[in-house]
């Protein structure tokens, strides 16, 4: 709100302005007497909510949705979780840490480390894969960029959401700052998935935003961070307020960046940075609007007027979003997972070699067969390149998915020439099950030089909630990502520490295991 001269204020508004000024004067008096906290409680949110007639009104009451949501958030740190949720949360934490460690070696990681060295701030929190310590905001920012420097991290089928790469770095940075133990850290991460994904689903269902990539991290990191900091229900409402004021979904121009640096910023960095900032502002004594989700000028009215706020508390405490989030088997973009699964299955069943293949058709929904799934420059997003790698290597390794020079290898170029992307309208609205995004179905057809043909349809990518990897598979994937950076012994110790996180007394115990050998 800008400054107003009294002459510029309509007569009917003057009384309201005077009342607000009186409240502010009274609050200043309390603060001057050492009553900052008392003032914050007695006068929680002095502000203007402008109605259609442009007249200021009283502060909006807290809605039932916000009351339930903020209470749930404030109690999350002391609330026991079902064993299944704990087990899956540990796998997602390890998977995200592995993405952060491996991402520190990629172009986005190099850029993030350069930022950390230039603007590191107070030496409080770990920068993974390095010897650098930063302030919590900077560490969360840098580690989030690591986490989505490529296509290694977990994902949710709604809104293009990648929750872990924002939530885990934010919780880790604040966990080190506040010295919390492993149990509270894990519960904070679970809460972050719950709140971030519910916000994403709510906005996505309203059909207002074209992209919601940045939403899950923004609110997920704020919720997780608030839990780590031990904020009460009132403070959680203010945290959501400052998260909402910083919210942005990102714009699709990131697709033009072939180094995956800007994509990491949009999908991960913005959310982690914004969430940690919101928590630290409120923890330091800032207050705000009591209910940013309802009333004039609210977040939902601005972003999704048709959204149903009740989606935010739907089955809260019964349905845990971390158990509905997918872990990738292949460290490549989401649209590539099913084709690689299908080709891998055909290779196992029929034992043909690359030299025997005459043509390889990949049938995808039209929306999947173009754009990011056919990226000509980014190996981990290029379906023809990765299918050629699978033909030659009989696997799709992290190293191959990030070997840009290999895209010009004559052996790979030869196999790429055999790959045909076939947009198939019959797959456009195909869905393996209710609630799963349509279009994520692939059919791979292999034609051999002798005329033999094989076909494989894939509907549930390995690592998704309907076709989950075993714990051993998750550990093997994470080891492949981390061992080259941390060393095999340290990788083993870190893995054990994560799966025994209840016995971690202070999250700083992970620091020597996350830093470069």
CATH code, domain carrying 147: 1.10.4100.10
Q: Which tokens go with 79?
A: 């609330």
Q: Are residues 154 and 183 in the same domain?
A: yes
Domain boundary, last residue among 458, 476, 497? 458
> Is residue 44 over pLDDT 70?
no
Q: Is residue 80 part of a domain?
A: yes
The pLDDT of residue 258? 80
> Which residues are paired to 422 by β-bridges?
363
Q: Are residues 352 and 321 in the same domain?
A: no
Gyration radius of the chain's alpha carbons: 25
Q: Is residue 487 part of a domain?
A: no
Q: Is residue 494 part of a domain?
A: no
Short-list 473, 513, 515, CA closest to 494: 513
Domain boundary, last residue among 40, 57, 74? 57
Q: Are residues 355 and 266 in the same domain?
A: no
Provide mean pLDDT across the span 407-422: 96
More confident residue, 356 or 427: 356
- Under the banding of pLDDT at 50, 70 and 90, the label for residue 32 is very low
423 and 335 in contact (C-beta within 8 Å)? Answer: no
Q: Is residue 467 part of a domain?
A: no
Q: Are residues 109 and 47 in the same domain?
A: no
More confident residue, 44 or 503: 503
Q: Are residues 120 and 225 in the same domain?
A: yes
Q: Are residues 369 and 308 in the same domain?
A: no
Q: Is residue 29 part of a domain?
A: yes
- Under the banding of pLDDT at 50, 70 and 90, the label for residue 25 is very low
Q: Is residue 312 part of a domain?
A: yes
Provide mean pLDDT across the span 68-82: 98
Q: Are residues 311 and 269 in the same domain?
A: yes
Q: Are residues 321 and 339 in the same domain?
A: no
Terminal-to-terminal C-alpha distance of the chain: 51
Short-list 236, 250, 252, CA closest to 312: 236
> Is the whole model's pTM more than 0.75, yes or no?
yes
Q: Is residue 443 part of a domain?
A: yes
- Under the banding of pLDDT at 50, 70 and 90, the label for residue 59 is low
If one counts the domains in the chain, the total is: 3
Q: Are residues 190 and 270 in the same domain?
A: yes
Q: Are residues 159 and 220 in the same domain?
A: yes
Domain boundary, last residue among 36, 57, 78? 57
More confident residue, 305 or 48: 305
Q: What are the b/e assignments for 432-467, b being 16+ CB within 10 Å?
A: beeebeebbbbbbbbbbeeeeebebebbbbbbbeee
Point out the least confidently predicted range of 35-44, 308-317, 493-502, 503-512. 35-44
The pLDDT of residue 516? 85
pLDDT in tens, 270-295: 999 999 999 999 999 999 999 999 99
> Is residue 405 over pLDDT 80?
yes
pLDDT in tens, 416-468: 999 999 998 888 766 555 444 444 789 999 999 999 999 999 998 999 999 99
173 and 143 in contact (C-beta within 8 Å)? Answer: yes
- Provide the CA 421 distance to its chain's centre, in angstroms: 29
356 and 346 in contact (C-beta within 8 Å)? Answer: no
pLDDT in tens, 154-201: 998 787 799 999 999 999 999 999 999 999 999 999 999 999 999 999
> Is residue 41 over pLDDT 60?
no
Using a pLDDT cut of 70, give the percent of the chain over it.
Answer: 84
The residue range of the domain holding 94 is 64-327+510-514
The single-letter DSSP state of residue 402 is T
Give the CATH number for residue 454: 3.30.1330.120
Q: Is residue 45 part of a domain?
A: yes
The pLDDT of residue 37? 36
- The position carrying tokens 């979003």 is 321
Provide mean pLDDT across the span 12-17: 40
pLDDT in tens, 472-500: 999 999 999 999 999 999 999 999 999 99
Q: Are residues 130 and 272 in the same domain?
A: yes
Q: Are residues 262 and 234 in the same domain?
A: yes
């Amino acid at each position: 709100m800008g400054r107003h001269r009294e002459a510029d204020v309509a007569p009917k508004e003057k009384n309201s302005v005077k009342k607000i000024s009186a409240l502010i004067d009274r609050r200043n008096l309390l603060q001057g007497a050492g009553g900052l906290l008392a003032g914050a409680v007695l006068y929680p949110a002095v502000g203007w909510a402008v109605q259609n007639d442009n007249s200021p009104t009283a502060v909006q009451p807290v809605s039932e949705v916000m009351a339930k949501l903020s209470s749930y958030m404030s109690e999350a740190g002391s609330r026991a979780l079902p064993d299944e949720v704990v087990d899956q949360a540990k796998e997602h934490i390890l998977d995200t840490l592995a993405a952060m460690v491996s991402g520190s070696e990629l172009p986005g990681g190099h850029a993030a480390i350069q930022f950390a060295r230039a603007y590191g701030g107070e030496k409080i929190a770990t920068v993974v894969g390095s010897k650098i310590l930063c302030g919590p905001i900077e560490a969360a920012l840098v580690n989030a960029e690591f986490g989505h420097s490529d296509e290694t991290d977990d994902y949710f089928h709604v809104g293009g959401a990648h929750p872990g790469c924002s939530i885990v770095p934010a919780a880790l940075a604040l966990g080190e700052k506040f010295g919390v133990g492993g149990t509270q850290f894990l519960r904070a991460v679970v809460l972050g998935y719950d709140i971030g994904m519910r916000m994403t689903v709510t906005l996505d269902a309203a059909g207002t935003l074209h992209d919601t990539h940045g939403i899950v991290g923004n609110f997920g990191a704020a919720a997780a961070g608030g839990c780590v900091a031990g904020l009460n229900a009132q403070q959680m409402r203010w945290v959501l307020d400052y998260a909402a004021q910083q919210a942005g979904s990102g714009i699709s121009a990131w697709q033009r960046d072939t180094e995956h640096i800007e994509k990491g910023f949009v999908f991960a960095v913005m959310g982690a940075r914004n969430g940690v900032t919101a928590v630290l502002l409120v923890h330091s004594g800032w207050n705000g609007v009591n209910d940013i989700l309802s009333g004039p000028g609210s977040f939902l009215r601005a972003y999704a007027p048709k959204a149903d706020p009740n989606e935010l508390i739907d089955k809260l405490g019964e349905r845990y979003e971390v158990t509905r989030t997918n872990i990738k088997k292949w460290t490549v973009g989401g649209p590539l997972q099913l084709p690689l699964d299908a080709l891998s299955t055909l290779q196992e069943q029929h034992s043909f070699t690359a030299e025997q293949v005459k043509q390889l058709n990949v049938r995808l929904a039209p929306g999947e067969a173009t754009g990011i799934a056919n990226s000509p420059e980014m190996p981990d997003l290029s379906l023809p390149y990765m299918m050629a790698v699978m033909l030659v290597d009989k696997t799709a390794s992290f190293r191959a998915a990030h070997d840009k020079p290999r895209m010009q290898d004559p052996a790979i170029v030869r196999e790429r020439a055999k790959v045909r992307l076939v947009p198939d309208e019959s797959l456009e609205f195909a869905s393996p099950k209710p609630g799963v995004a349509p279009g994520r179905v692939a059919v791979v057809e292999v034609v051999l030089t002798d005329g033999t043909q094989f076909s494989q349809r894939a509907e549930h990518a390995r690592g998704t909630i309907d076709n989950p990897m075993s714990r051993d598979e998750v550990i093997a994937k994470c080891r492949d990502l981390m061992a080259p950076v941390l060393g095999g012994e340290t990788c083993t110790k870190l893995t054990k520490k994560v799966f025994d996180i209840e016995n971690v007394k202070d999250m700083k115990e992970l620091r020597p295991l996350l830093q470069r050998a």
